[in-house]
Amino acid sequence: MYKLAFLHKSAGQEVVGGIKVNNERLEFLGDAILDAVTADFLFKTFPTRDEGFLTEMRSKIVSRTQLNKLSFKLGLDQLIQLDDSNGLFRSYRGDAFEAFIGAIYLDKGYEFSRKFLLERIIKSYFDLDELVRQELNYKSKIIEWAQKERKNLQFIVVDEVGNGYKKQYIVEVVIDDTPLARSQHYSIKGAEQLASEKAWKQIFPE
C-alpha cells in the first residue's frame, strides 16, 4: 500500500482487464483526511475568526505549492515512480504526499493519522503567523476586487491541450470584456489560480 502511494499514474502498472493501478485513489483519500484534520486544527486554533479566514488558511496549508515543498523536505520525492520525461507533472510531489497520508490512514486509522499530521507535519513545518500574512489565493482576491469595483469578471476555458493524463486546460481571465491573462494547468481550478495571479500582478504591479 505504501509502495502504491508513490506510484504515479504515468508509471502505473497494468493489471487484469487493462486497468492501471496508481496512487490516485490513495491521493483522493489522503486529500480528504488532510482537509479534515487541517480544518479541525484551524477551527480550534482561531476560535474568533470567521469562515472566510479559516478557508483561506486551510488553502494556504494544503495548496499544491506547499505540499510539493513539503514532499521535497521530507524526502518523499525520492520514492516516487513516474515517467516525467517531458516535465509535465508539476504537482506529482504534493499528490504523492496526499497518497502517503491515505496509506497511513488505511494502515493506522484516523486518530494516528490526525496526530501524525498535527505533530509531525503542521506544527513542525508551518509557521501560522507567517501564513496569516501570506496572500496565496489570487482568485479569491481578484473576485473580491472585481465585486468591489463593479467589474465584470469571467474565467473562460479557451482551449484544451493534450489527451488522457496529459490533458491541460487553458483558462483566460477577462475583465469588462478585455482579456487580461491566461494560463494552463491539469485542472480548471489550477489554471484559474495561475491566470488570476498573472492578472492580479498586471492590475497591481509591484
pLDDT confidence bin for 138, thresholds 50/70/90: confident
pLDDT tens string 34-48: 999 999 999 999 999
Give residue 124's pLDDT band: very low, low, confident or very high (50, 70, 90).
Answer: very high
Place of cell 513542525: 124
Query: Residue 2: pLDDT band by 50, 70, 90 thresholds?
Result: very high
State residue 190's pLDDT score.
81
Distances (CA, A) of 162 to 47, 92, 165, 170, 177: 45, 18, 8, 11, 28
Q: Which residue, among 45, 100, 111, has the nearest Cα to 70 in the 3D structure?
A: 100
- Distance between CA 100 and CA 27 in Å, rounded? 7
Q: What average pLDDT does this structure show over 63-84? A: 88
* Integer Cα distance of 58 and 197 in angstroms: 19
**Count of C-beta atoms within a 10 Å radius of residue 71:** 24
Mean pLDDT is lowest, of 34-38, 86-90, 134-138, 180-184, for 86-90
The C-alpha atoms of residue 145 and residue 140 are separated, in whole angstroms, by 9
Active-site residue (options: 27, 56, 95, 98): 98
Q: What's the mean pLDDT in 146-170? A: 89
CA–CA separation, 83 and 86 (whole Å): 8
Q: What are phi and psi of 185, to 5 degrees?
A: -160, 170
Q: Is 31 a catalytic residue?
A: yes
pLDDT at 88: 60
Domains present along the chain, CATH in parentheses: 2-132 (1.10.1520.10), 138-203 (3.30.160.20)
Cross-strand bridge partners of residue 174: 154, 179
Q: Is the pLDDT of residue 206 over 60?
A: no
**Is residue 15 predicted with pLDDT exceeding 90?**
no
The yes-or-no answer on residue 129 being catalytic is no
Least confident window among 29-33, 51-55, 68-72, 101-105: 51-55
Check 31, 56, 172, 197 and give the catalytic one.
31
Strands of 60-201, DSSP E: 153-161, 168-175, 178-185
